[in-house]
Amino acid sequence: MQRGDFDNLPGRGKPLDNSDYNPFIDLTTHNINKILVNNGFKPEWIMLSKEIRDDITVARGKLAVVRERLGPPPFSDQDNVKWTFHVDKFKASVQEINTKINKFNFIVPFMENQMVHYNIEGNIEKVINNPSRYIQADANGRPLYADSVSMQSDNKNENTTIQWKEVWSNIKQVFTVR
């Protein structure tokens, strides 16, 4: 080494190639996967996992905003109707998330990565007991889902006019959150 025999080796001074090569996969499949990863492609199960986590965060956040706006229980009759309406919306959201979890569990390649369903009542209790934990703030410190949560229940007998303020705030949220 002192004589300089190793000074002119190819790759000297460059980082080692840490790409994982699986000897059980043919070289063509390995190269295709490497190209896809380098161009930002992610497998469907990874994207679905992120979507599930994001959806449950949004659902909890919206329910927590409603809980904060209504104040501590016991609720008045009118507030109880609002709370029940939003809890029903939360239940529907969690049921959709649990459907996505079923799809995720079918396509995930590793059994240890499978997910269990979210317990609806358990999540409602968590939000009731500590709503501030689930409320995310935007850059201005306002609750992230404050504009997207309407405190009116959707009764069919009520006025069905378009609430433009709510429409524009929802459009604004779509473009600022993502």
Classify the phi-psi angles of 134: left when phi > 0, otherwise alpha if psi is within -120 to 50, otherwise beta. Answer: alpha
Range with the lowest mean pLDDT among 51-65, 133-147, 156-170?
A: 156-170
Classify the phi-psi angles of 33: left when phi > 0, otherwise alpha if psi is within -120 to 50, otherwise beta. Answer: alpha
164 or 94: which carries more pLDDT confidence? 94
44 or 25: which carries more pLDDT confidence? 44
Q: Say how many Å lie between the first and final Cα of the chain, rounded.
A: 55
pLDDT value of residue 121: 97
Give me the mean pLDDT over the 87-108 stretch.
96
Could you tell me if 68 and 77 are in contact, meaning their C-beta atoms sit under 8 angstroms apart?
no
pLDDT value of residue 156: 47
| % of the chain with per-residue pLDDT over 70 | 88
Give me the mean pLDDT over the 115-141 stretch.
90
pLDDT value of residue 74: 84
Please give the mean pLDDT across all residues of the chain.
84
Does the pLDDT at position 163 exceed 70?
A: yes
